[in-house]
Amino acid sequence: MANDTKKLWSGRFKEGSANLLDYFNSSLYFDKKLYKEDIICSVAHAKMLAKCNIISQEESEEIIHGLNKILTEIEEDKTEWFKKNKSEDIHSAIESRLINTVGETGKKLHTGRSRNDQVINDVRFWLKGEIKEIITHLKHLRITFINLAREHLKTILPGYTHLQQAQPITLGHYFLSYEQKLLRDIKRFDQNLKSTNVLTLGSGALAGTSYPIDREFVARELGFEEISSNSIDAVSDRDFVAECLFNISLLSVHLSQWAEEMVLWNSDEFKFITISDAYATGSSMMPQKKNPDIPELIRGKTGRFIGNLVGMLTTLKGIPQAYNKDLQEDKELLFDSIDNIKIVLEIANEFLQNITFERHRMYEAASNSFINATDVADYLTKKGVPFRIAHEVVGKIVAYCIERKRLFKDLSLSEWNSFHELFGDDIVNQIMLESCVESKNVYGGTAPQQVINAIGRAEGEHYED
Ligand code: ARG
């Protein structure tokens, strides 16, 4: 079955295209998202064509007027506008509508331009704004972590390695561990903004153009900082898309680690946090349930983000230069990741501000274990015992206690001394949880004073826009 709707490229064809081809080939249902960017970039192109005397001033004005009219038309009723338009993509849709609106002059807009340099210019123009939005969300989330760190300078909880109690830490220090990951994420997106901020218009289909165009002018009009310097590369380069999908994936991996802790800490076994009712969900069957759907979904979205990254890289692998239709597959992946990461960042921030951190529970969890064993060894080491020997002695004390179902705090001085004569009665104070964290007073350590210093440094870096 053939379709008789006229294509922008119908000149060399005798027959209309098959319906199934049109259906398969069409990207309008997703690239319509770029209608505004497509129009803004076309306006800049039309201005430049007149400035360079490639079309007349009047023709340019007529085109620009038509484009603005189309923008209003679309914004008045998007659904209706796109239902009526049967074009294969957003670029053809707007160009054919322009020709219908302003007549013959509209046919001059595409002078010195191809959809190959146009599509990626639109994507770059759109993505710049999106990356900026992501960075803003990231900054807000980072500030929340910093504020929580300030609130919990002295809150003590068990620190884990291998999910086994390892050493006591301050909750403030824990929050700043995520602040650091987010700071690196912000820097990666800043870098990505630079690789995205490149004008590709002027590259034509792949070879450049023979018209005396002014690419600097278009770059200035659209706020691009750079101009692509190889037309073949310009129409095929999707590195900045892959970078963005990677940055989103890594950011999401970071958030999934935090989300996993929130799920765990919300369990009856941990009870380190209480989620406020507005940010938890219930079960349709079990009346007692209060589920942490938000962090579970934040954790779960990571699969989608990594999938989109792998999808993009796989699409790019092995395609020959320059533009190939495969590249049309870039947009849905990108749109999906961008839409999802924005909501993830927004809800992560709200969720974090609607949790009560149960300091007593955390303290209790750290109190009923041998989490301070390293500090016992350090006590002896500071009195001259080589660390390896101290480690062995404390290992024996731990085994002794486990056999008798006792903790360090239950031992008498003579029991301590039966393991080593250098233990004095100050051992009790030296291994209190507060002493343990205060003693980690090294740059980057968990001591409250170090957390205060780290907050100061964090506020100095990338803090506000
Ligand atoms: N819809 C296309 C895309 O998204 C636009 C470029 C089409 N170019 C072409 N030569 N058919 O990649």
* d(CA 302, ligand 1 centre) in Å: 29
Residue list, ligand 1 pocket, CB within 6 Å: 27, 31, 89, 115-116, 119, 323, 327-328
Residue 14, pLDDT score? 81
Contacts of residue 275, defined as CB under 8 A and 6 or more positions apart, other chains included, come to 266, 290, 292, 294, 351, 354, 355
Q: What per-residue confidence (pLDDT) applies to 328?
A: 98
Place 211 in a pLDDT band, splitting at 50, 70 and 90: very high
DSSP annotation of 2: E
Protein residue closest via CA to atom 4 of ligand 1: 328
| Cα–Cα distance for residue pair 110/409, rounded to 1 Å | 81
- Region 400-426 average pLDDT: 97
pLDDT band at 176 (very low <50, low <70, confident <90, very high): very high
pLDDT of residue 340: 98
Write down the mean pLDDT value for the chain.
96
Query: pLDDT category, 1, cuts 50, 70, 90?
Result: very low
Taking the centre of ligand 1 as the mean of its atom positions, its distance from the CA of residue 108, in whole angstroms, is 19
Of 2.60.40.1180, 1.10.40.30, 3.40.50.150, 1.10.357.10, which CATH number belongs to 369-459?
Answer: 1.10.40.30
pLDDT at 415: 97
Looking from the CA of residue 31, the nearest atom of ligand 1 is 4
Whether 283 is catalytic is yes
Q: How far, in Å, CA of 261 to CA of 272, rounded? A: 10
Would you say residue 465 has pLDDT above 60?
no
Q: Which atom of ligand 1 is nearest to the CA of 327?
A: 12
What is the per-residue pLDDT across 60-92, written as a single tens digit (0 to 9) for each?
999 999 999 999 999 999 999 999 998 999 999
Confidence of residue 450 (pLDDT cuts 50, 70, 90): very high
pLDDT, greater one: 403 or 286: 403
pLDDT at site 3: 52
Smallest CA-to-CA distance from 126 within 229, 244, 212 is with 244
Q: What mean pLDDT do residues 375-399 have?
A: 97
In the set 162, 284, 360, 414, the catalytic residue is 162
Whether 118-155+170-364 and 369-459 share one fold: the answer is no
**Is 385's pLDDT higher than 50?**
yes
CA distance 47 to 71: 17
> According to the model, what pLDDT value does residue 254 have?
98
Q: Domain ranges for the chain, please list them.
A: 17-108, 118-155+170-364, 369-459
Q: Which tens digits make up the pLDDT trace of 307-349? A: 999 999 999 999 999 999 999 999 999 999 999 999 999 999 9
Q: Which residues of 307-344 are buried (b: 16+ CB within 10 A; e: fewer)?
A: ebbebbeebbeeeeebbeeebbbbbbbbbbbbebbbeb
We find that the CATH architecture of domain 17-108 is Orthogonal Bundle (1.10)
What would the pLDDT profile of 19-42 be if each residue is shown by its tens digit?
999 999 999 999 999 999 999 999
**Which pLDDT value is given to residue 157?**
98
Cβ-contact 137, 338 below 8 angstroms: no
Q: Is 162 a catalytic residue?
A: yes
Which pLDDT score, from 0 to 100, does residue 290 have?
85
Give the whole-angstrom CA distance, residue 107 versus residue 104: 5
Give CA separation, 81 vs 6, 70, 115, 258, 339, in Å.
Answer: 18, 10, 21, 43, 23
pLDDT band at residue 11 under the 50/70/90 scheme: confident
CA of 119 to the centre of ligand 1 (A): 7
pLDDT digits (tens, 9 = 90+) for 90-121: 999 999 999 999 999 999 999 999 999 999 99
pLDDT computed for residue 463 by the predictor: 56
Which residue of 7, 316, 328, 332 sits with most ligand 1 atoms within 8 Å of its CB, as the best mutation to test the pocket?
328
Query: For a pocket test of ligand 1, which of 325, 331, 335 has the largest count of ligand atoms closer than 8 A to its C-beta?
Result: 325
**Both structure tokens of 82:** 């796109």
| CB of 109 closer than 8 Å to CB of 227 | no
**Mean pLDDT, to the nearest integer, of 224-236?**
98
pLDDT of residue 461: 85
Ligand 1 centre to CA of 213 (Å) is 22
Among candidate residues 65, 210, 283, 418, the one labeled active-site is 283
Checking if the pLDDT of 4 tops 80, the result is no
Domain 118-155+170-364 has CATH 1.20.200.10: yes
Non-local (6+) Cβ contacts of 422 within 8 A are 380, 383, 384, 385
Please report the pLDDT score of residue 284 as a whole number.
83
pLDDT at 124 over 70: yes
pLDDT of residue 287: 82
Q: Is the pLDDT of residue 155 over 80?
A: yes
Give the distance (Å) from ligand 1 centre to CA of residue 115: 6
